[in-house]
Amino acid sequence: MSIIDFKMRQDLLWFSEKQSTAWIEHSPVCTKIVDLDFHLQYMSSAGINGLGIDDITEYYGKPYPLGFYPQLFRDEMTKSLIKARDTGAVVVHEDAVVDIEGNVMWFHSTIVPINDHNDHNDQIDYFMIVSVDITEQKQVNIEIQELNYELESRVKNRTLELEKAVEELLIISETDSLTTIANRHVYERRLTENVATAKRNREYLSLLMIDIDCFKKYNDKYGHDFGDIVLTSIAQTIKGSLLRETDLAARFGGEEFVVLLPSTEGHAALAVAERIRMNVRSLEIKHDVVDAASAITVSIGVASLKAEMLNETDLLKQADIALYMAKKKGRNCCEVFNT
C-alpha cells in the first residue's frame, strides 16, 4: 500500500468516526458505553439532557446503572447486563428510571455486546446500550388503560342497572298492582308447569279457589278505598298462611284468589284451606252488611287430581264447583270436590 493510499484510508476512517460521533450526539436516541465491569464510560447528549445532568463526566467510571436510579431498575438492568455478558447475546430491557429531579421516565433499551477487534472470537470489549424514551407512549397506554377501566366500570354499572330494571319490570309484570301478590298471569304459567311436573312424577296437585264472602255488598256500602284495603289485607294473609316456597298464592280476579299446592293430596290441601279461612277470620274486619256483628270471611273450594286424571281445565272446574258448594253451605267454610 502506498503512502498516499494509507493517508486516504486514515482520512476516510477519521471522517467516518466523526460522522458517527455527530450522529450519536444529535440523535434523540440515548447511547451509552459500559465497560465489562459495568462502569459508565460514555453517555450521549440525549441521555444527558433527558436526565437533567449538568456534568456527565463526574459519573464516568462509576457503576451503571447510576445511583439515583430506582433500586428495582438497577437490579433488573444489572441482571440484563450479566445476561448479555454471559451469553454474548443482544438483550432487550424495558423499565422506568427517575431523573435527578425525581421525574419518572420510561426507556426501551437494547444491550449490545461489542467486539472491537473483529477477530471472530467470543471476547467482549464493552457494551453499547441504546435507549429510546417511551415515556409518552407509556403515559398514553396508562391513559388508555384508565379510560378502558372507566368504560368497563360504566358498562358494568349500566349492565347492573339494566339487569335490575329488567328484574323490576319482571316483578311488576308478575305482581298484582293492588295486593302485591302474584297475578293471574303467574298463576296460569305455574299451573301449566305444576301439572306437567305432577303428571311426570305421578303426584297430586291441589288447587284452592277462594272468594271473599259478601264482598260486593261491603264494597258498595264502604267504598272502593276500604274495599282495596280489605283485598290487600286478605291477600297477604293468604300468602302468609302458606308454609312452603313451592306453594303459590295469586289474585284470580276481583275478590277471588287461587292457591296452587304441588305434591299435595286432598286432605292436606283441606288443612291448608282451613288455616287460611281461620287466619282471615281472625283479622276481625267488622262490617254490618249482613248483621251488626258480622266480620269479613272467605269461602274456599278444594280440588285435587293425580296422574292421568290431572289436567288444567278439570282442576280449575272442580275447585270452582267446590267453592260454589261452600257458598251454598252458608259461606265461611271449606269444601272438597267429590265426584
Active-site choice (17, 188, 203, 255): 255
Which CA distances in Å does 283 have to 235, 237, 239, 296? Answer: 12, 9, 14, 8
Calculate Rg over the CA atoms of the chain.
45
CB neighbours (10 Å) of residue 44? 23
Residues 276/241, Cβ–Cβ less than 8 Å: yes
Q: How many Å apart are CA 197 and CA 192, to the nearest integer? A: 9
* Cβ atoms of 190 and 251 closer than 8 Å: no
Burial class (CB in 10 A: 0-12, 13-18, 19+), 171: exposed
Specify which residues 250 forms β-bridges with. Answer: 182, 258
User: Which of 50, 133, 57 lies closest to 96 in space, CA to CA?
Assistant: 133
For the chain, the maximum distance between any two Cα atoms, rounded to a whole number of angstroms, is 142
Residue with cell 276481625: 284
Verify whether residue 188 is a known catalytic residue: no
Q: Residues with catalytic annotation?
A: 255
